[in-house]
Amino acid sequence: MFNSIKTSSENKQIVSELTSKLALGAENVIARIALGYSLAKHDKLDLAQIEDSKGKEYSSKVLFGENQALYIAMICQKYEIYKENREIPKYLKLHMDLGLKHIYFDMKDNPNKDGTAILLNYITV
């Protein structure tokens, strides 16, 4: 269906900073967390709000691992679309970009928290 997803140019730097600061593993880990966070916390997003694709590129295998079907299913359920819909990669990108920004600003607002503390806050909210 698709081979890769790219963050916005603004989020390229954010991915690097979050990966370094939160020490949760490789860059794809924070991208997965951001995607899941946005899907859980935000209503349906408008594709007209999609940002550029000039940032960090993730192959679908690296970004989703063995769970690509699960991420696609979450998008399909949220947007009530079929798994073959051509807009799925755009929705994934939209949620990943938004999630990255929210985590980044949360980290900036809470500079003394480590990655685990920030994630636990997401789970308990």
Question: What is the CA 2 to chain-centroid distance, rounded?
Answer: 16
Tell me if residue 56 falls in helix, strand or coil: coil
The helix-helix angle for 9-22 and 27-41 (nearest 10°) equals: 110
Mean pLDDT of 31-37: 92
Q: What is the pLDDT of residues 44-83, one digit of tens each?
A: 999 999 999 999 999 999 999 999 999 999 999 999 999 9
Question: Residue 104 sits in which domain range?
Answer: 4-124
Give me the CATH number covering residue 86: 1.10.1220
Structural contact between residues 54 and 8, judged by C-beta atoms closer than 8 angstroms: yes
pLDDT band at 124 (very low <50, low <70, confident <90, very high): low
How many separate domains does the chain show? 1
Q: What is the pLDDT of residues 96-116, one digit of tens each?
A: 999 999 999 988 888 888 878
The DSSP symbol for 65 reads G
